[in-house]
Structure 1
Amino acid sequence: MFPERVRNATSKTASYTSTGCAKFYRFIRSAMWIGASSFVILAVPIVFEQERYNMEQQQQQHQRQLLLGPNAAVSNTPNSMGMVPPPPPQ
């Protein structure tokens, strides 16, 4: 029904499209695997360490609040320890 030239062109186009999609799929699959495994190896330990650091800070703040009162947790200066400075000499 169609000329041989049109059939050949359509066949080649379909073949190239199919091959291109398969190669693109393999590339994307490999890229996603590399990206995901790199993230797990490089970034997840940093996230865990940051969370551990935050937990330690919260525990220290809680201990300060228990020992020195509720105002000690708010003031984060290491020298004051939540205490009011002494009045100036007269």
Structure 2
Amino acid sequence: MLINNQTATKTSRASNHRISAAMRGQDATLERLRVDRQLEEALTHGPDPLHLAEVFGLDEKTAMRYADSARQLLETAAEQNASGGPQ
């Protein structure tokens, strides 16, 4: 969710133009923020594609891709922790 001085007191969303202007020249893009948020949700609440589809309105294939990516990251972290590797 993005909130600015125009949308803080309303229920409408910020315009794409206003958001793009604010993000211009930044390393973070709206797409990167969206992808990061969806992957974080999958890591935090478990790699459940049904949950991801419901929360973000994703189609099933996209939700399954995020769940698979999260599952791989979680398994890699568990393997590294079990072997005493970097955390």
State whether TM-score is above 0.5: no
Q: TM-score, length-normalised on structure 2?
A: 0.30
Which structure: larger Rg?
1
The structure with the greater share of residues assigned to helix is 1
Q: TM-score, length-normalised on structure 1?
A: 0.29
The structure showing larger relative contact order (alpha-carbon pairs under 8 Å, at least 6 residues apart) is: 2
